[in-house]
Amino acid sequence: MARTAIRARLLDFISDPTHSASAVRLVEDGLLLISGGRIVARGEYGPLSRALRADEKVADFSGCLLMPGFIDAHTHFPQLDVIASPASGVLDWLTLHTYPAEARFADPAVCQEAARFFLDELSRNGTTSACVLGTVHAQSVDALFAEAHARDVRLVAGKCLMDRNCPRELRDTAEQGVQQSADLADRWHGKRRLAYAITPRFAASSTTRQLQLAGELASARRDLYVQSHLAESEDEVRWVRELYPQARSYLDVYDSVGLVRELSAYAHCIWLDSADRLRLAQARAVAAVCPSSNLFLGSGAFDFRLAEQAGMTVALGTDVGGGQSFSMLATMRAAHEVALMRGGMLRATQLFYWATRGAADALGWEGQVGTLESGAEADLVVLDPAATPLLARRFAAAGSIEEQLFALMILGDDRVVRETFVAGQPSKIWCKPEVVAVASSPGDTARTRELTRRFMGRLRDAPGGGVLKP
């Protein structure tokens, strides 16, 4: 079987940097060998290169960092067209922008196009796995899974359960919503690298009956994931308290029906008390922290220090479209800023760990992704520290791997991502013309045609036979 050989600086994590001074593993001039979508060898370039066959070529990324691909623990693929939309807060944002955009996903063609664009954008930003929310429409998840399956992407996704407090066109029923979830799980869960998540949108958009049925499905299918939103804003917390006066807390609404357990991931988790934090830790549930979104919507600042003290499991999410970017580098940067606001300090190594091995281990993928160990799936990202002049200058002056990662995190964006590999295959977006030919609103076709015309001109003028290369 043909092997792929990649030369670069190899960086991954043996363990959590919070608890180990030797958690970071770096090979300055390394070689990684891939076969059949998996890593088969890693080590110093010199000794390992001597084992290469004469017909095996090396993809040379010398000077770049080759890492496990990023893992986005919480994002929304139907919200592509409302990213960068203004609102006074998360509830206002949902009403003004999100729900109207999601109503368009009743059309299967909209679902299919958005799924392609979404997965292209993940790849372009170095993200190889994600936990994704669809809309209330089953076809939205079918489209996303079908596209991810074709690309062999590791993905968790689920249709939103919403049977109240949302527009009628986005409303299911308690029974219908959970039955559709079970049917989707039967179709897709465990199919290659796909997994299904039972997905109440948030407690305010589900009746007690719907949450109870979701909990019954979660109890019957312990292999399924659970994902939802939790304590994102103070207004939301007050609303949930009014809707569920019998519950001790927002978290208790989910916990009382059996939705807080391993393989459950709750986005935001800002407005929690000490009992909630301890319960999440005890259940080994994941807090998918979305600092970019929280800053943009003014939702609040996650307390990383209290989460660590409670022993909570933390991963990072972009929360697009509430977040500002698909980039996990931008998410790490926002987490650093939020921690400073709270009087703490997060090291770059800790943040990169949460975006790679930490997320993988939290989501039950230990040893499969998030690592450069032999036998792991070859989901990788190549980061170029010379992607911009300022970054190159700062990186050259950095004296340690911590400083180098910090510079990448603060100054980097999608230009830093030199290449992304999914299951050993390069998957960098090549800017297919159909990707940009999308109207942002039903009446915007003239604007779309103009953008497409300009794009096609750039494509024709690009070197390499009309392919825009990184």
Distance between CA 250 and CA 276 in Å, rounded? 9
Q: How confident is the model at residue 465 (pLDDT cuts 50, 70, 90)?
A: very low
The answer to whether residue 329 scores a pLDDT higher than 70 is: yes
Which residues touch 399 (CB under 8 Å, ≥6 apart)? none
> Which pairs from 365-369 meet CB under 8 Å and 24+ separation?
365/129, 365/154, 368/154, 369/68, 369/69, 369/71, 369/128, 369/129, 369/154
Whether cis (ω within 30° of 0) applies to the bond prior to 321 is yes
Of residues 18, 101, 8, the one with CA closest to residue 58? 8
**Neighbouring-strand partners of residue 30:** 8, 44
Residues of the chain with CATH 3.20.20.140: 70-326
Q: What is the pLDDT at residue 427?
A: 81
The answer to whether residue 430 scores a pLDDT higher than 80 is: no
How many angstroms separate the Cα of 401 from the Cα of each of 25, 107, 327?
10, 48, 21
Q: How confident is the model at residue 2 (pLDDT cuts 50, 70, 90)?
A: confident
Share of the chain above pLDDT 90, in %: 88
Model confidence pLDDT, tens digit, residues 406-415: 999 999 999 9
The answer to whether residue 244 scores a pLDDT higher than 70 is: yes
Distance between CA 406 and CA 348 in Å, rounded? 5
- What pTM did the predictor assign? 0.91
3-state secondary structure 31-49: EEEEECCEEEEEEEHHHHH
Q: What is the pLDDT at residue 434?
A: 36
Q: How far is CA 437 from the centre of its chain?
A: 25
Q: What is the pLDDT at residue 428?
A: 59
Task: Could you please state the CATH topology (level 3) that the domain comprising 70-326 is classified under.
Answer: TIM Barrel (3.20.20)
What average pLDDT does range 341-365 have in this prediction? Answer: 97
What number of other Cβ atoms are within 10 A of residue 19's Cβ? 7
Q: Which residue has the tokens 């792929």?
A: 4
Query: Can you tell me whether residue 293 is helix, strand or coil?
Result: helix
Residues of the chain with CATH 2.30.40.10: 4-68+378-426
The answer to whether residue 94 scores a pLDDT higher than 60 is: yes
Model confidence pLDDT, tens digit, residues 294-326: 999 999 999 999 999 999 999 999 999 999 999
Q: 46: burial class by Cβ within 10 Å (0-12, 13-18, 19+)?
A: exposed
What average pLDDT does range 344-368 have in this prediction? Answer: 97
H or E element in which residue 435 lies: helix 433-436
What average pLDDT does range 94-121 have in this prediction? Answer: 97
Distance between CA 138 and CA 144 in Å, rounded? 10
For every residue of 301-361, DSSP letters joined together read ---HHHHHHHT-EEEE---TTTSS-S-HHHHHHHHHHHHHHTT----HHHHHHHTTHHHHH
The answer to whether residue 440 scores a pLDDT higher than 90 is: no
H helix intervals, 36-190: 45-49, 90-93, 99-103, 108-124, 138-151, 174-188
Q: How confident is the model at residue 435 (pLDDT cuts 50, 70, 90)?
A: very low
The answer to whether residue 423 scores a pLDDT higher than 90 is: yes
Backbone φ and ψ for 318, nearest 5 degrees, come out as: -80, -30
Model confidence pLDDT, tens digit, residues 38-53: 999 999 999 999 989 9
Q: Strand pairing of 127-133 and 154-158?
A: parallel
Give the CA angle between residues 83, 85, 87 to the nearest 5°. 130
Quote the CATH superfamily of domain 4-68+378-426: Urease, subunit C, domain 1 (2.30.40.10)
431-441 burial code (b ≥16 CB/10 A, e <16): beeebebbeee
**Neighbouring-strand partners of residue 265:** 227, 286
What average pLDDT does range 59-76 have in this prediction? Answer: 97
Of residues 148, 124, 151, the one with CA closest to residue 382? 124
